[in-house]
Amino acid sequence: MHVRSRRVIPFAIAAMSLAVSGAYAAGFTAEQATAGKTAYDSNCAQCHGFKLEGPEAPGLVGMDVMQNWDSAAGLYDFISVAMPPSAPGMLGEDAYLNIVSYIMSFNGAQPGETPMSADPDLLASISLPAETSAGAAAAAAAAPAVTATDAAAAGGLNPTPPVNQAFTFGKQLPGGAAPAAASAAPAAPGVPQAFTFGKQLPTAAN
Amino acid sequence: MKLGLMKTCLIATTALLMLGTAAQAQGVRENYEPVTDEMLLNPPAEEWLMWRGNYANQGYSELDQINKDNVAGLQLAWAWPMADVGIQETAPLVHDGVMFLQTNNNIVEALDAKTGDRIWQYRHVLPELPAAWGYQLNQARRQKNSIALYGDKVILTTVDAKIVVLNAADGTVAWEKQVLDYQVGYSYTIGPLIVKDKIISAISGCSIAGTAGGCFILAHDANTGEELWRFNTIDDPNNPAQQESWGEVPAENRWGGTPWATGAYDPETNVTFWGVGMPGPYAELIRGSGDGSVLYTNSTLALDADTGELKWYYQHLPRDNWDLDSPFERILVSQEVDGKMANMVVSVPGKNGIAFGLDRDTGKYLWSKETVQQNVVTGIDPDGTVHINEDLISTAVGEAHLICTSVSGGKLWMAGSYSPKTQTFFVPLTEACNTVAPTQTEFTAGNAVGAVKFGPRVLPEGITEAGLVQALSVSPTEGDSKWQARSRPSMTSSLLATAGDLVFGGDAGRFVKAWDQETGEVLWEQRLNAPIGGYPMTYELDGEQYLVIPTGYSNAASSISSAFPEIPLPTGTGNSIFVFKLPAAK
C-alpha cells in the first residue's frame, strides 16, 4: 500500500487521502483487532481503561497519542518489552500484535486483509496518525455534543478550549512534514470548522 | 498520654449534610493541639509535622529507640488500607496522636496513631473532565504526596488547582480557594510548605497544552487565602538572560518548568528553595529554542519567602532534550568546618542522578558526583557550568538516541534523606535508559506537549540490577561515595534516616529494608503486599517508637519491571500502610 512507503504521514494529508480514496488497509485484520480486544481487556484495561481512557495509566485514545507513538513499530516496540508491568513482555508476539491492532482500531483505523506481523519494516511503515485520522475526526465532530452536557453538570466547563501550539508548529523540520502539509494541519479534524476555528476566543467566566 | 483524652463521638449524618460535607458518620478529635510556628521551626522528635519532617527536607528523625541493635525484632503493630486504589506516593504526618494520611484524589484520613482506628475522612469532590483529556486525567491520579499541618488546620492542595483548608479536629472544610484554572490544565500534585502564616505552593500541569506561558510558585495568606506573590518559572520579566535563554520562543509557546517537589525553607535567611522541572516540548528541535538553556527549567530557585523575589538560581541541566527534569527535593545541610558554618543545598535534583552541593546563600556551585550510569552530562566545570552531550540532541523528527538515565529515572519523586549525625546523604535510584525521538504533533486540550516518542526502559549495558541506594558522605568540598547497596528490583520508596543509625526504604520486589548507615549492610527486611512506596516515616507515642511503611503501586514500580521479570509485580495495587514497633518490654 502506498501509505507503507512513508515513515511519517501528516495528519492533514492522511485525512485528505481518506476522503479521496475511501477505505484504507490499516495493516491489521478484523480478526486481529477482535482478538486484541480480548487480550487488551484482560491484560491492559485494569489501568488503561476499558475505553482506553486511563486514568490509572496514560490514556490510549486521541490524535496526540497516535502522533506521539508515530508508527505501529513505536507502539509495538514499547509494549512488547514493557507491558503489562506485572508480566512485562510475556504475553507473546501474537498478543502484542493483536493489542496494537485493537488500539489502532479503537482510534478509528480500518482493518484490511493483510495481517500485522512483527516484521520491523512493516510495523515502521504503518503510520498511526494516518491510519487512525478518520476515527479522530469522527470523535472530534462528536465530542462537543457529549461534553457540553458534562460541562453543564460540571459548572460550565469549556469542552474544547483553544490551546497554543509549539513554536515550530507548521514549520518544516528535518525529517518532518512538508511545509504545505504542515501548515494545513490546523484543519486536520477533517470536517468544516467555524469561521473562528483556530483563533483565540474568550472563555466564559465561572 | 494525650490519647487518653481523645473522645470519638459520632455526629449525625444529617448534621454533616447541612455542613455540605460528605454524608458519612465522622468522629471528632477533641482538644487537638494546634501546630505552632515554633513547632514547625523545631519539630518535636516524636512527631512528623511536614513532608520530609523538617524545613530542611532532610527526611531524618532524631528517634533512636529502634536502632541497629534491635531493628531485627520489629513487629507489626497495625496496618490500614488506603482509601484510593490509584497510584500513591503518600507522606503520612503525625501530630498529637493523630496520623493524617492522604492519597491521590485528595482524600485525607485522620487515624488514631496508636490503634489505627479512623477518626474522620475527607473526600474532595473533583470536577469531571472530558475523556479526551487523557494526560490530565492520568496526572490527576498520581504524584499527590503531602499535605500540611498548621494551627488547628490541615491544608491540602488539590488536583483541580484549589487550596482546601480543613479543620483538623473533624475534617470539615474551613475554607477553600481556586488558585488557578484547572480547565486549562493546572493541577496541584504536591503539597504546600507553611511559612509564617503563608501557604507556599507550586502548581503542576505545566506540560499540558492549555497552560502555555506560565508555571508558578505561589504564596497565599494561610488565614484568608489572599494571594501574596507568585513566581513564574518560565517567564521572568526581571531577568533578560532568562528570556534570551529561550531564543525566539515567546512565552505563549513555552511549557514546563513544573516545580513538582515541595520546597525547603531556611529560617535564618527567610529564603525558600525549589526545584524546577523540564521544558516543553521536550526536544529543542520541536521547542524552537535552538541551543538556548531554557531557564529556569532544571534549576534550583532561591526565593525570598515574604516577596517571592529571586535571590539566585543555578541550572543543573541546561538545554534538556530528553525529559530529564530536575525538580526533586532540595535538602538544606549545615556543617561546622574549622569553626565556620557551611550552609549548603544538597540534592540529586534531576533524573540523571547527579548529586550536587551548592552554597545556600549564594547559589555557588561547590561539588557534584555521578551515581547511576548517565550519558547526557559530559562534564561540570569548577565554576558550575554544566556541559551536555550534544551528540544526543536530535536534529530531525524521528531521530532516536539512547539516553541514560531514562525518563523514569535515575532519580524520581522518591526522596533521599540526610543524616546530620553521620553527615551522609542517602538516595534511592534506578539504573535505566530509553530511546528518545522527537515527534511533530498537534497539541490538544488536556494533553501534554512533550512531543517525543520514548522507547521502553532498559538497563544500561553490563548492569543487571535496577535498584541502587547510594550513600554519599557530604562536606562543603565533596560528596563522596560511602557505600552502594544494589538490588535487582528498582527502588520504589523514599528513604528515612534515623538517629538509630538506620536508613529505611524499599523496592518493587516488595521488600522493605533497614540498612546500616555506616556500612550499607541490610539489618532487617520484610516482604509486604505490594511495592514499597511513598515516604516512610517514624513517630513516638506513649514511649514507643513506630515505623510507618507505605506500600502500593506507582510509576516507579512499573516503569522498568521488564528488568526483573522473575519478580512479578502484583496486579492489585495493594495501597496500604504498615506500622511496626518493637515488642513491648517485659
Concatenated DSSP letters for B129-147?
--TT-HHHHHHTTS-----
Domain total of chain A = 1
For residue B127, the chain A residue with the least C-alpha distance is A154
Give how far A85 is from chain B: nearest CA, Å.
Answer: 5
Q: Which residue bears the cell 533512636? A: B64
On whether the CB atoms of residues B288 and A166 are closer than 8 A, the answer is yes
- What is the gyration radius of the CA atoms in chain A, in angstroms? 18
Q: Please indicate if any CB of chain A lies within 8 Å of the CB of B366.
A: no
Cell reading at A200: 483565540
Which of A23-37, B18-32, B378-392, B424-438 is predicted with the least confidence, judged by mean pLDDT? B18-32
Q: Please indicate if any CB of chain A lies within 8 Å of the CB of B290.
A: no
For residue B85, the chain A residue with the least C-alpha distance is A56
For residue A179, CA distances in Å to A12, B38, B396 come to 12, 62, 15
Judge: A173–B286 Cβ closer than 8 Å, yes or no: yes
Task: Summarize the confidence of residues B138-162 as an average pLDDT.
Answer: 89
Quickly list H helices, chain A: 11-21, 30-43, 45-48, 63-69, 72-82, 93-106, 120-125, 128-153, 179-183
For residue B398, the chain A residue with the least C-alpha distance is A175
Judge: B395–A174 Cβ closer than 8 Å, yes or no: yes
End-to-end CA distance of chain A: give it in Å, rounded: 50
Cβ contacts of A169 on chain B, cutoff 8 Å: 440, 442-443
pLDDT category of residue B514 using cuts at 50, 70 and 90: very high
Q: What does the pLDDT read at residue A182?
A: 41
pLDDT category of residue A176 using cuts at 50, 70 and 90: confident
Q: Is the pLDDT of residue A193 over 70?
A: no
- Residue A24: CB partners within 8 Å, gap ≥ 6? A1, A3, A18, A109, A110, A112, A131, A134
Highest-pLDDT range among A73-87, A150-164, A186-200: A73-87
Q: What does the pLDDT read at residue A140?
A: 60
pLDDT category of residue B131 using cuts at 50, 70 and 90: confident
pLDDT category of residue A72 using cuts at 50, 70 and 90: very high
Q: What does the pLDDT read at residue A30?
A: 96
Rounded (10°) angle between helices A128-153 and A72-82: 80
Q: Is the pLDDT of residue B121 over 70?
A: yes
Cell reading at B19: 455542613
Q: Please indicate if any CB of chain B lies within 8 Å of the CB of A183.
A: no
- Checking DSSP bridges between strand B216-221 and strand B502-506, what pairing results, if any? unpaired
Q: Please indicate if any CB of chain B lies within 8 Å of the CB of A65.
A: yes
Query: Which phi-psi region, left, alpha or beta, contains residue B235 (left: φ > 0; alpha: ψ -120 to 50)?
Result: beta
Task: Summarize the confidence of residues A23-42 as an average pLDDT.
Answer: 88
Q: Which residues of A, range 135-164, sit inside 8 Å of B by Cβ?
A: 139, 143, 147, 150, 153-155, 157-164
Q: What does the pLDDT read at residue A192?
A: 52
Cell reading at A52: 482506553
Helix (H/G/I), strand (E/B), else coil: A104 = helix
Q: What does the pLDDT read at residue B125?
A: 92
CATH 2.140.10.10 fits B46-581, yes or no: yes
Nearest alpha-carbon partner for B580 in B14, B167, B77: B77
Helix (H/G/I), strand (E/B), else coil: B45 = coil
For chain A, percent of residues with pLDDT exceeding 90: 49
Judge: A61–B450 Cβ closer than 8 Å, yes or no: no
On whether the CB atoms of residues B63 and B540 are closer than 8 A, the answer is yes
For chain B, percent of residues with pLDDT exceeding 70: 95
Cβ contacts of B559 on chain A, cutoff 8 Å: 82, 85
- Checking DSSP bridges between strand B386-388 and strand B279-280, what pairing results, if any? unpaired
What is the C-alpha separation between B526 and B421, in angstroms, rounded?
Answer: 26
> Domain locations in chain B?
46-581
What average pLDDT does the structure give for chain B? Answer: 93
List pLDDT tens digits, range B350-390: 999 999 999 999 999 999 999 999 999 999 999 999 999 99
Nearest alpha-carbon partner for B413 in B88, B110, B188, B100: B88
Q: What does the pLDDT read at residue A200?
A: 59
Phi and psi torsions of B511, nearest 5°:
-90, 125
Q: What does the pLDDT read at residue B276?
A: 98
Q: DSSP class of residue B72? A: G
Pick the more confident residue, A13 or B315: B315
Tell me the residue ranges of DSSP E strands in B93-161. Answer: 93-95, 98-103, 107-112, 118-123, 148-150, 153-157
Q: Please indicate if any CB of chain A lies within 8 Å of the CB of B460.
A: no
Cβ neighbours of B269 (radius 10 Å) = 14
Q: What does the pLDDT read at residue B19?
A: 43
Q: Is the pLDDT of residue A150 over 50?
A: no
Cell reading at B148: 500540611
What is the C-alpha separation between B48 and B100, in angstroms, rounded?
Answer: 10
CATH number, position A198:
1.10.760.10
User: Considering Cα of B14, then B19, then B23, then B28, what sign does the dihedral take?
Assistant: negative
H/E element, B15: helix B13-19
Give how far B144 is from chain A: nearest CA, Å.
Answer: 13
Summarize chain A as % helix, strand, coil (round to 5): 50, 0, 50
Q: Is the pLDDT of residue A159 over 60?
A: no
Nearest alpha-carbon partner for B257 in B226, B290, B221, B300: B300
Cell reading at B404: 541514560
Q: Is the pLDDT of residue A118 over 90?
A: yes
List pLDDT tens digits, range B243-257: 999 999 999 999 999
Cell reading at B455: 522507547
Q: What does the pLDDT read at residue B331?
A: 98
For residue B82, CA distances in Å to A48, B232, B554 come to 21, 35, 14
Chain centroid, CA B462 distance in Å: 30
pLDDT category of residue A139 using cuts at 50, 70 and 90: low
Task: Summarize the confidence of residues A137-161 as an average pLDDT.
Answer: 50
Judge: A78–B448 Cβ closer than 8 Å, yes or no: no
Chain centroid, CA B473 distance in Å: 22
Q: Is the pLDDT of residue B100 over 70?
A: yes
Judge: B440–A67 Cβ closer than 8 Å, yes or no: yes
Judge: A177–B440 Cβ closer than 8 Å, yes or no: yes
What is the C-alpha separation between A190 and B441, in angstroms, rounded?
Answer: 16
Cell reading at A170: 507548521
For chain B, percent of residues with pLDDT exceeding 90: 88
Q: pTM for this one?
A: 0.89
Q: Is the pLDDT of residue A146 over 80?
A: no
Quickly list H helices, B281-332: 284-287
Q: What does the pLDDT read at residue B232?
A: 98
Q: Please indicate if any CB of chain A lies within 8 Å of the CB of B134.
A: yes
Is the omega angle on the peptide bond into residue B135 within 30 degrees of 0, that is, cis? no
For residue A47, the chain B residue with the least C-alpha distance is B86
Residues paired with residue A105 on neighbouring β-strands, in sequence order: none
Q: Which residues of B, range 73-92, sit inside 8 Å of A by Cβ?
A: 85-87
pLDDT category of residue A198 using cuts at 50, 70 and 90: low
Rounded (10°) angle between helices A93-106 and A72-82: 130
Q: How many residues does chain B have?
A: 586
Cβ contacts of B440 on chain A, cutoff 8 Å: 8, 67, 168-169, 173, 176-177, 182
Q: Please indicate if any CB of chain A lies within 8 Å of the CB of B459.
A: no
The boundaries of the domain holding residue A13 are: 1-206
Query: Which phi-psi region, left, alpha or beta, contains residue A119 (left: φ > 0; alpha: ψ -120 to 50)?
Result: beta
Cβ contacts of A55 on chain B, cutoff 8 Å: 86, 134, 137-138, 140-141
Judge: B441–A68 Cβ closer than 8 Å, yes or no: yes
ipTM given for this complex? 0.86
Q: Is the pLDDT of residue B13 over 80?
A: no
- Residue B68: CB partners within 8 Å, gap ≥ 6? B500, B501, B502, B514, B516, B523
Query: Which phi-psi region, left, alpha or beta, contains residue B423 (left: φ > 0; alpha: ψ -120 to 50)?
Result: left
Q: Residue B585, exposed/middle/buried by CB under 10 A (0-12, 13-18, 19+)?
A: exposed
Task: Summarize the confidence of residues B51-77 as an average pLDDT.
Answer: 98
What is the C-alpha separation between A22 and A6, in angstroms, rounded?
Answer: 19
List pLDDT tens digits, range B328-357: 999 999 999 999 999 999 999 999 999 999
Phi and psi torsions of B546, nearest 5°:
-110, 145
